[in-house]
Structure 1
Amino acid sequence: MEIGPFIKLHRIKQEMTQEQLAEGIVSMSYLSKIENQKTDASPDVISLLCTRLGIQLDNEIDTTIKEKCQNWYNLLFEVNDKQEIIAAYEELEGLMESAHSDSLVMFEIHKVRYYLVLGKLEEALAEINRLAEISSTLDSLHQYYWYKFKGNYATLTSEINQAMRMYKLSEEKLNQLELPEEEVADLQYTIGVTHSKLRNTLEAIDYADKAIDVFRKQYNFIRCAQCHIVLGISYRRIRMWDKSIKNHNLAKHLGELNKNQQIIQLSNQNLGFLHATKGDTKEAIHYYEEVYNDVEVDLNAKLTAVTSLIKEYYSIYDLDNTKKMIEKGTELLDGKTDNELFKIHYYVISTYNLVLNQEYAKFESLVIKEFIPYLQKHKDYANIVVYANMLGKHYEYLCKYKDAVKYYKLANISYEELIIL
């Protein structure tokens, strides 16, 4: 990294103004020119600025930092112990604070990914905002990861269209770079997943197929399994049931070979949804229960299974089991209802709970004022169809036909959006 942007980045990290850094060394306007690469400062000036920032200029340390950075980057892209990731980060952070390293910008960009891996969305956003101040000085490699990780952030905050824009900008940089096959495949898989979320089914299949070709050659079976899941979801959406089941079963088999419970249960969850779509409630419940009863699955997966079971039991008027799963879901959500990652589960559980308890005024208020606007904001047309129809049936039962027509119409419009997607 050039010394000017390097100085600027350290100054921003230390929350130091240009006036504070420049005082007694150079003018503020001259410092601005140094930081923005509009002038070449003398070695003495650079040395004084680095001293004030507490930075050492040492090539030997830089070599060590580069090696440690690469090891840390690798940890961020595989399933690894979070404590190991944190320990590696803390060591690097200490080294970066006191040395001029060409790896600093890449390290700072990967901090966005690091915070996302740890579920620290606010810290990730703060890092994105800090890096935005030097984004104009980034080279093509830095821009590639900058866009990719901003896409990761947008995905986790459910801004899927923004995520796709970022991933496509990242993809454009591939023409200017020579990256390892597995890195290109990772981006292709990520774009495939994003197309799947946007219900661009054919594009999702195309990108997943590209990625899986690379992962097969490298015998990376976990990544192959992830691609099979995307393919399974895509084929389900176009009613190619056999291909969908085959891909989910392949993913599940690879998960079992690698003893990866996350892959196994993600496959089960999607097999459950496939059978629910086909109207085979018994099979759907079987697969959802496989997920729910697994003590090793993460909270989001368990809650997804719970809400799926609530819907299935309610659809066959098994109200006792519906109530039981609502209670289980409420327990799991205790203290987490404000967490954006679990918001959809909160709304689903609350909606069915109010219906079961015949608290219809609260049901109407929640779904109309909160749940449907939340789904519209995230362009979740599939769930808008479900809950708009639920409102329509509710109002039809009450003989409020004008309101019933309004929500049936919303369900139809949302269904048309799904077809367009």
Structure 2
Amino acid sequence: MIEIGSFIKLQRTKQEMTQGDLAKGIVSLSYLSKIENLKTEASPEIIQMLCTRLGIQIDNSLDATIQEKCKKWYSMLFEVNDKKEIIATYNEIQNLMDTNLTESLLLFEIHKIRYYLILGDIDEALNKINDLNDISGTFDNLHLFYWNKFRGNYHSVIGDFSNAMHFYNLSEEKLNKVELEEQETADLQYTIGVTHSKLRNTLEAIDYSNKALEVYMKQYNFIRCAQCHIILGISYRRIRMYKKAIKNFNLALHLGELNNNNEIKLLTHQNLGYLYSTKDDSKEAIRHFQEVINDENAQLIDTLNSVGSLMREYYNIKDFGNTRKFIDQGIDLIRRYSVKSPYRELYYYVINTYDYLLKEEHDKFENLVTKEFIPYLQKNKDYANLSVYSELLAKHFEKVSKYKNASKYYRVANFAYKQITNI
């Protein structure tokens, strides 16, 4: 049962009511503060008066209905659903929460963190985390499981994967202390697997992805199975176990096609492109990147990503006509990107790097890559691109007989590669 003091505090702050406004004529300010901070238990009469002023009914008759609606909404937050439906269901539950005292309130408030992240409202998610932080000391194990998991989700979204892993580990510690459906456990394991992959903890990414995959296979959740196979493919590629990587990517592609899931198919083609590029098989790499380019329903970022990869592949095989073609296509795409998008900055550097190389504008190329592009990649710990473009720069310096600079950037490329293959 939610502590009544926490409930009162949540509702008061939501209504932007001061403690003075709520306490006036009922209790002293200091006594209300003690109630809200769980330092005293107020009489039922005082609780009734405070709830009446907040416009809340103390009536448990609707609790089962609210619980059922919440359960349905929570499940909507973990699958691909229409955002309009998610918002409509949220508003329906919020109206009930605003006028009824219910045990479901805290869990509903905690799930708002994920809700805001799904809507892309990162600031509102952080505000909700800060709001709930004051009363997190009253959370039971189930509350703490979701509280830590969703804080991990928040840090993942902002790219802070170390902190995300910290919170996911705290959430995982609660697994043996709460009763959850198997798919909830699998979702956390999959999420931890993805985060380990982001942190280049390859063996851990394989371990957690396999744990989640075992559950999803039993449940015939083929989309989640495909997502696990993609993480496994990426992980095996990093440790050069190419046969296993290709096997997992092909399984993901097959599942994506069976379920007509374009997102899975495009993501798999991109990763197969990276794999064959790593193997210096430009013909196969180009074939997979072209699959993304040719898809009219591909997201702009996916198309831009593949355009950048195609520039590199065609330049490496000295097909400068196609290199020029994709540079021009990239310039056109980047004009359509939001100025605030981090991807715009990355692909601005990628496109201009090959543009200057192709035009043999060596001074511009060297200045851009040494003074802007490499520092940008180092700052963002983008070791995959740092390895590629440091080596490209080193080969250029070697070609123009600047051997000291070539040696320096070969060392940078080697360091970046070690980070990528960290297991």
Contact 2:57 2:101 in 1 (8 A): yes
- Distance in 1, matches of 2:121 and 2:352, equals 26
Map of 1:316 onto structure 2: 317
Deviation at 1:244, TM superposition (A): 1.4
Map of 2:341 onto structure 1: 339
- Distance in 1, matches of 2:237 and 2:207, equals 15
Larger mean Cα displacement after TM superposition, 217-226 or 13-22: 13-22
Contact 2:308 2:347 in 1 (8 A): yes
Q: Per-residue CA shift, 1:239-293, capped at 9, x if unaligned?
A: 2222211111111111111111111121111111111111111111111111222
Question: What's the secondary structure of 2:339's corresponding residue?
Answer: coil
- Distance in 1, matches of 2:13 and 2:365, equals 49
Larger mean Cα displacement after TM superposition, 132-141 or 341-350: 341-350
Map of 1:413 onto structure 2: 415
* Superposition CA RMSD, Å: 2.4
- Provide runs of 4+ in structure 1 moved above 6 Å: none
Larger mean Cα displacement after TM superposition, 187-196 or 299-308: 299-308
Deviation at 1:353, TM superposition (A): 4.0
The correspondence of residues 115-154 of structure 1 with structure 2, limited to 5 A, is 115-154=116-155
Question: What's the secondary structure of 2:16's corresponding residue?
Answer: coil
The correspondence of residues 137-176 of structure 1 with structure 2, limited to 5 A, is 137-176=138-177
Q: Per-residue CA shift, 1:169-207, capped at 9, x if unaligned?
A: 111111211211111011111111111122222111111
The correspondence of residues 68-217 of structure 1 with structure 2, limited to 5 A, is 68-217=69-218
Question: Compared with structure 1, are the counterparts of its residues 66 and 298 closer, same or farther at alpha carbon in structure 2 (3 Å cutoff)?
Answer: farther
Map of 1:287 onto structure 2: 288
Q: Per-residue CA shift, 1:29-80, capped at 9, x if unaligned?
A: 2222111211111122222322333323232333222211111111111111
The residue type paired with residue 221 of structure 1 is F
Map of 2:238 onto structure 1: 237
Unaligned runs of 5+ in 2: none
The residue type paired with residue 316 of structure 2 is S
Contact 2:77 2:115 in 1 (8 A): yes
Contact 2:202 2:422 in 1 (8 A): no
The residue type paired with residue 244 of structure 2 is K
- Distance in 1, matches of 2:366 and 2:125, equals 36
The correspondence of residues 390-401 of structure 1 with structure 2, limited to 5 A, is 390-397=392-399, 399-401=401-403
> 1:43 and 2:44 equivalent?
yes
Contact 1:158 1:378 in 2 (8 A): no
Deviation at 1:400, TM superposition (A): 4.7
Q: Per-residue CA shift, 1:74-129, capped at 9, x if unaligned?
A: 11111112221122122222222222222222122212211222222222222222
Question: Compared with structure 1, are the counterparts of its residues 317 and 230 closer, same or farther at alpha carbon in structure 2 (3 Å cutoff)?
Answer: same
> 1:31 and 2:39 equivalent?
no
Sequence identity of aligned pairs in percent? 60
- Distance in 1, matches of 2:20 and 2:362, equals 62
- Distance in 2, matches of 1:17 and 1:350, equals 55
Map of 2:377 onto structure 1: 375
Contact 1:307 1:349 in 2 (8 A): yes
Question: Compared with structure 1, are the counterparts of its residues 129 and 339 closer, same or farther at alpha carbon in structure 2 (3 Å cutoff)?
Answer: farther
- Distance in 2, matches of 1:221 and 1:31, equals 52
Larger mean Cα displacement after TM superposition, 342-351 or 92-101: 342-351
Contact 1:157 1:340 in 2 (8 A): no
The residue type paired with residue 195 of structure 1 is H
The residue type paired with residue 220 of structure 1 is N
- Distance in 1, matches of 2:169 and 2:363, equals 45
Larger mean Cα displacement after TM superposition, 24-33 or 151-160: 24-33
Map of 2:263 onto structure 1: 262
- Distance in 2, matches of 1:139 and 1:365, equals 56
Map of 2:7 onto structure 1: 6
Larger mean Cα displacement after TM superposition, 188-197 or 351-360: 351-360
Contact 1:337 1:346 in 2 (8 A): no
Question: Compared with structure 1, are the counterparts of its residues 238 and 3 closer, same or farther at alpha carbon in structure 2 (3 Å cutoff)?
Answer: same
Map of 2:60 onto structure 1: 59
Map of 1:246 onto structure 2: 247
Question: Compared with structure 1, are the counterparts of its residues 320 and 84 closer, same or farther at alpha carbon in structure 2 (3 Å cutoff)?
Answer: farther
Question: What's the secondary structure of 1:416's corresponding residue?
Answer: helix
The residue type paired with residue 166 of structure 2 is R
Contact 2:387 2:417 in 1 (8 A): yes
Aligned pairs, number: 421
Question: Compared with structure 1, are the counterparts of its residues 350 and 186 closer, same or farther at alpha carbon in structure 2 (3 Å cutoff)?
Answer: farther
- Distance in 1, matches of 2:215 and 2:208, equals 11
- Distance in 1, matches of 2:362 and 2:298, equals 34
Contact 1:225 1:252 in 2 (8 A): yes
Contact 1:193 1:230 in 2 (8 A): yes
Question: Compared with structure 1, are the counterparts of its residues 94 and 376 closer, same or farther at alpha carbon in structure 2 (3 Å cutoff)?
Answer: farther
Contact 2:238 2:421 in 1 (8 A): no
Deviation at 1:403, TM superposition (A): 4.0
* TM-score, L = length of structure 1: 0.91
